[in-house]
Amino acid sequence: MTTEQFIATKASAAVNALYGADIPESRMQVQVTRKEFEGDFTLVVFPLLKISHASPDATGNAIGEWLTSNCPEIEAFNSVKGFLNLSLSNIYWSRLFASIESDARFGELPSTGRRIMVEFSSPNTNKPLHLGHVRNNLLGASVSNLLKAAGNDVIRTTLVNDRGVHICKSMYAWQQRFDGATPASTGKKGDHLVGDCYVEYARMEKEDPSVLDKVHDMLVKWEENDPEVRRLWSMMNEWVFEGFEQTYKALGISFDKTYYEHETYLLGKELVRKGLETGVFVKDPDGSVWCDLTADGLDRKLLLRSDGTSVYMTQDLGTAERRFAEHELDSHVYVVGDEQNYHFQVLKLVLKKLGFDWADQIYHLSYGMVELPEGKMKSREGTVVDADDLIEKMYEEAKSTSEESGKLEGVSEEEKDRLYHMIGLGALKYFILKVDPRKKMLFNPKESIDFNGNTGPFIQYTHARIKSILRKADALGIRPAVSEDAPLSPKEIRLVKLLASYPQKVQEAADAFSPALIANYCYDLAKEFNQYYHDTPILKEENSSILRMRLALIETLANVLVKATGILGMELPDRM
RNA sequence: GGUUCCGUAGCUCAGCUGGAUAGAGCAACAGCCUUCUAAGCUGUGGGUCACGCGUUCGAAUCGCGUCGGAAUCACCA
């Protein structure tokens, strides 16, 4: 039970005793007391005036009196203009702190028994990953962690778009203009080499539009399983996968299951057949198949072309059906940009029309685009921010900042390398995840991602500071320990309050599919600690139970920081 | 044109299930390292929460309208 719930329950009892009214605790409004007022939690009494038939202050005072004389945990109160501020006893906070400190699984919510598949990343194999993909990948990985922390069984998956006309374009350009170049012969990452082919193709088509016919011939041959074309296709895809693998590894991302579109693109045709039988779909005279959604305020949606081939939507319908069946999913989350809102709206609607109840359990985590100061990234204009370049840049930035501070003297080169990567990536991940996924975000390549203020490195630095103190204490043979003999200061109570709210934050964030809420929490916690650190000496404290309590407090704080940033996919260093 | 989303400090963002005087960071300015890591801490300045009307004891938050921006509405994926 959270402290808010505890107070709500007591307040409900107070109202019952004083006014004989039965107000459930869920209707009680309890919030954290604002900094400028005395107290820990505040009961909003306005909604109770109709029952008390008294002024806000009189009502507040009456409830305050009742609570302080009937609940030993509630020590004092003051009533200000309809807000009843309550102070809890030090023993209450000590015990709450002790319960958090001793709980190794603190913040891991009880199992929901639900199995959720999360699809994210889903790249095309004709160009390297860019900043937009980075946001997708980080969000997907983080939301997966979040849902897992909230007690769900999570399957991370990706659908690689490895076939189609765009792949053939790269293949054609390679054949015509690249003279047998390979990643090995050029020293280029495979995904970048294939990306170059794609760019080259665009140039070729501009010179001579008829090359498009050649590309279509190639696609037809691919579909006919032409060995020559298939061999080229496999080889180039292999290059790309190796390149992607490096990028995923650098980002710390992996999948439980990878689907390839060349295996799934024919799925869904059976559904179309059934839909035609049951009259959910209609066939036009030219042979094309449609679903009429005009009654739902949408348009008609194509499901099979007049030549009988399937489209994107057909495939997605079939894939969804197969996944729910194969994995006995309770829910499926798709991490896909908001430009596809319409697609998912239609997908769910069509599945529902086909009679699948689980259609309601599909959630499109629709995130906003990453934009540059001059607008959208455009590959034609060369304004695309490449993922590998960006990761490299972050590493260099971390390296130069670290070298400037000189705090890593005596650390091995190997360890330094690990730290630079951890810090650079931490900065990048936090930068992207701290903003509400649904909103579009701005990235200015000219300004490097900050390492000061509300940033990943700030949180990592906080952790390093705590670890430094704990190392020193350990060297002195002092062990952290919670004890009721060590009263908590107001700042320490604030920290305990924040720590205690962590499980609730995980729940809220999971409900909202928003790692940003976790990022904000991490910042609040780090900020609060740094203020505490600044004016509360720990190792110099003479009272040994207070000293040990403080060590226990910062150790718990470090543990919670590790868990929370872990959801964001960040690692925290012991020194930096 | 239809649908959906967005508009908060110079900039980047919190706050949005209605609650007290709207918060951070960056940038600017002024301080704090013989004291547990200054990637830190403290302070100053900076706001018509796009605009209007409504609901309410109370609106940045909810509703309607206006203005501005974005996405989407392919026999592309």
Please tell me which residue lies nearest to nucleotide B75, judged from CA to C1'.
A305
| A466 CA to B49 C1' distance (Å) | 38
- Take residue A503 and report the two structure tokens written for it: 């499980």
| A438 CA to B6 C1' distance (Å) | 10
Please tell me which residue lies nearest to nucleotide B77, judged from CA to C1'.
A312
How far, in Å, CA of A188 to CA of A444, rounded? 27
Task: Return the pLDDT at A380.
Answer: 72
| A357 CA to B73 C1' distance (Å) | 26
Name the nucleotide with the smallest C1'–CA separation from A338.
B71
**Is the CB of residue A48 less than 8 Å from the CB of residue A66?**
no
Task: Return the pLDDT at A446.
Answer: 86
pTM of the model: 0.96
Task: Return the pLDDT at A553.
Answer: 97
Task: Return the pLDDT at A564.
Answer: 98
How far, in Å, CA of A97 to CA of A94, rounded? 5
Please tell me which residue lies nearest to nucleotide B71, judged from CA to C1'.
A339
Task: Return the pLDDT at A295.
Answer: 85
Task: Return the pLDDT at A36.
Answer: 84
**Is the CB of residue A97 less than 8 Å from the CB of residue A555?**
no
Taking the CA atoms of A261, A263, A266 and A271 in sequence, report the sign of the dihedral they define.
Answer: negative
How far, in Å, CA of A522 to CA of A509, rounded? 13
Name the nucleotide with the smallest C1'–CA separation from A464.
B37
- Chain B: positions less than 7 Å from a protein CB are 2-6, 11-17, 19-21, 24-27, 35-42, 57-58, 70-77
Q: What is the pLDDT of residues A87-101, one digit of tens each?
A: 999 999 999 999 999
* DSSP string across A545-567: HHHHHHHHHHHHHHHHHHHHHHH
- Closest among A314, A573, A348, A305 to A465, alpha carbons compared: A573
| A454 CA to B16 C1' distance (Å) | 21
Task: Find the farthest-apart pair of alpha carbons in chain A and give their distance in angstroms, rounded.
Answer: 90
Name the nucleotide with the smallest C1'–CA separation from A39.
B20
Q: How many Cβ atoms from other residues are within 10 Å of residue A98's Cβ?
A: 18
Task: Return the pLDDT at A76.
Answer: 96
C-alpha of A369 from chain center? 15
Name the nucleotide with the smallest C1'–CA separation from A310.
B75
- State which residues of chain A have pLDDT below 50: none
Task: Return the pLDDT at A396.
Answer: 96
Rg (CA), chain A: 29
Task: Return the pLDDT at A374.
Answer: 85
Name the nucleotide with the smallest C1'–CA separation from A163.
B77
Specify the 3-state DSSP secondary structure of A81: coil
Specify the 3-state DSSP secondary structure of A83: strand
Name the nucleotide with the smallest C1'–CA separation from A284.
B75
Four-point Cα dihedral A65, A69, A75, A77, nearest 10: 0
Cβ neighbours of residue A118 closer than 8 Å, sequence gap 6 or more: A140, A143, A144, A147, A154, A155, A156, A157, A332, A333, A335
Q: How many residues does chain A have?
A: 576
Task: Return the pLDDT at A299.
Answer: 86
| A402 CA to B10 C1' distance (Å) | 31
| A109 CA to B16 C1' distance (Å) | 26
For A467, half-sphere exposure in the C-beta direction (CA atoms, 13 angstrom radius) is: 14
Cβ neighbours of residue A484 closer than 8 Å, sequence gap 6 or more: A91, A94, A95, A98
- Strands ordered across the beta sheet of A153-160: A257-260, A153-160, A115-119, A331-337, A362-367
> What are the backbone dihedrals phi and psi of residue A516, each rounded to the nearest 5 degrees, phi first?
-60, -35
| A128 CA to B11 C1' distance (Å) | 30
* Alpha carbon separation from A16 to A23, A26, A66, A219 (Å, rounded): 7, 14, 11, 75
| A437 CA to B5 C1' distance (Å) | 12
Task: Return the pLDDT at A35.
Answer: 86
> What are the backbone dihedrals phi and psi of residue A83, each rounded to the nearest 5 degrees, phi first?
-115, 120
ipTM of the complex: 0.96
| A369 CA to B70 C1' distance (Å) | 10
Phi-psi region of A112 (alpha: psi -120 to 50; beta: other; left: phi over 0): alpha
Q: What is the pLDDT of residues A374-407, one digit of tens each?
A: 888 887 778 899 999 999 999 999 999 999 999 9
- Closest among A467, A386, A390 to A429, alpha carbons compared: A390
| A142 CA to B65 C1' distance (Å) | 40
C-alpha of A202 from chain center? 35
Looking at the DSSP bridge assignments, the partners of residue A200 are none
Q: Which helix (H) or strand (E) holds A322?
A: helix A312-327
Name the nucleotide with the smallest C1'–CA separation from A519.
B14
Amino acid at A68: T
For A24, half-sphere exposure in the C-beta direction (CA atoms, 13 angstrom radius) is: 2
